[in-house]
Structure 1
C-alpha cells in the first residue's frame, strides 16, 4: 500500500535477529554479528530477484538432471550509500565474489528542519549502465538519500528498471516518497516500521545504523 513495487521478507529467523539489533543495550560487537546475519538473508533475497542477471541452466546431480538458475556476477553492480550502506555492501560482496562496486556519499543537511540530502561524492564503474544495480542502504527514512542516489545512477545511463534498492528497515514516509518519484525501482526490505519521529528517525527503528555497526556511537 506504500509502494507499488516492494518485497517484504517473510522469514521466521528475522524476529530474533531484529530483537537483537533493535535492543539499545546490545553491545557493538554483538550488533555487528546479528546485523550481518540479518543482512546476509536480505542480500540473498535481493540477489534472487535479479531477472536481467539470472538465466536458466541444467546441472547433473549424482543421480539425475536438475533444472535450475544461475546468477552472472558480470551483469551486476553493487552500489553503497556511504557509510551505513557499506555494511550491507559487504554482505552482497561476500555472496557475489568479484562483483563490481560503486560508492555514493550523501549526507543530510542537519542545519535545516527538512534535512535535505546533499550529494558529496559519486564513483561508479564503467559499463554500469548495462548492469543490474543493487543499491545498498540499511535505512530508508525520508527517502531523500535514496532518491538522490537513484538520480545519480540515472544520470550515468542506468535504466530505472535496472535498479533494485535493498534495505533493512524502512517506513511509510520514505516508501511513499520514493514510490512517487521512481515507482519502477524495486525495493527489497526486511521490515516496514511505523513511521518517523520529529527528528526524522525511524520508529521503532534501531537508532543510527552506521554508528552502531561501525562502533562510533
Structure 2
C-alpha cells in the first residue's frame, strides 16, 4: 500500500501548520479505516486488524522520506535495471505504550531496523508530561528517527519525546513523527515549536480517538 499521495484538497488547511506537516490522502479505503477505528461497536479483534492496516499505510509513506541511493541490478533475464536502494542507518522510536502498536508495522517493512523506546507519564498534580525512561540506540545522533505515536491529543508527550531526542543530539531535521490521528491544536503547537522536523498523519480532527491504546491492548 505504498505510494500514498498527499491530500491536495487540504492545502489551505495544511498551510496554517507549515510545510513540515504532511497529511495522507484520505481516500475511501482510509476513511473506512478511520470509521472502524472510531466506532465504539467495533470488536477488539477487528479494531486491531484495521488499526494495523492504517499503521502500515502511514509507515510505508514515512519510509518514502528516508534516504535512498541509486542502484543498478541485473534481472534474471540478464537485463540491467536502474533502481533505488534504501540507505541503512535509520531507526524507530516508539512512545510507550500506544506507540508500541506501530512497531509491528515498521518491522514488517524493515525487519532489521533498530527500535528505541521512550516512556512518558503525566504528573497527576501538575498535568505536565515527564520522561520516566528512555532506551535509545547509542549512535542515534547519526540516524534518521521515525518517532511513532498513534494518537496526538494534547501534544505534550510528543513534545517531551522530541526534546529527549534533541537532548541526545538528534538533529531536528532528522526526526519524522508518524501519527494516525492528530488534533489541530496539538499539531499547530508541535509544528511551530519544531519547524525542522516532519510530522506525517492520516487525519487532523478536533476529537481524537483517545481510546486507541486501551482498545488495541484489550484493557478498555
TM-score (norm 2): 0.87
Report what 1:14 is aligned to: 30
For residue 4 of structure 1, report the CA deviation from its aligned partner. 3.1
Aligned-residue CA RMSD in angstroms? 1.5
Q: Which has the higher strand share?
A: 1
Other structure's SS at 1:75 match: coil
Could you list the runs of 4 or more consecutive aligned residues of structure 1 that deviate by over 3 angstroms after TM superposition?
60-65
- Structure 2 residue ranges without an equivalent (≥5): 1-15
How many residue pairs match? The answer is 203
- Quickly say closer, same or farther: Cα 1:24–1:63, change in 2 above 3 A: farther
Separation (CA, whole Å) in 2 of partners of 1:150 and 1:176: 15
Does the Cα contact within 8 Å between 2:24 and 2:202 map onto a contact in 1? yes
Give the match for residue 172 of structure 2: 160
Q: How many Å apart are 1:26 and its aligned residue? A: 0.5
Corresponding position of 1:207: 210
Work out whether 1:49 is the aligned partner of 2:61: no
**Which position in structure 2 is the counterpart of 1:138?**
150
8 Å CA contact retained: 2:153, 2:210:
no
Structure 2 Cα separation of the partners of residues 23 and 164 of structure 1: 29
Q: What is the CA-CA distance between 1:110 and the residue it aligns to?
A: 4.0
Query: Could you tell me the TM-score, scaled by structure 1's length?
Result: 0.88
Q: Secondary structure at the match of 2:37?
A: helix
8 A Cα contact 1:21 1:35, kept in partner: yes
Q: Which residue of 2 aligns with 1:68?
A: 83
CA distance 1:89–1:24, change in 2 (3 Å): same
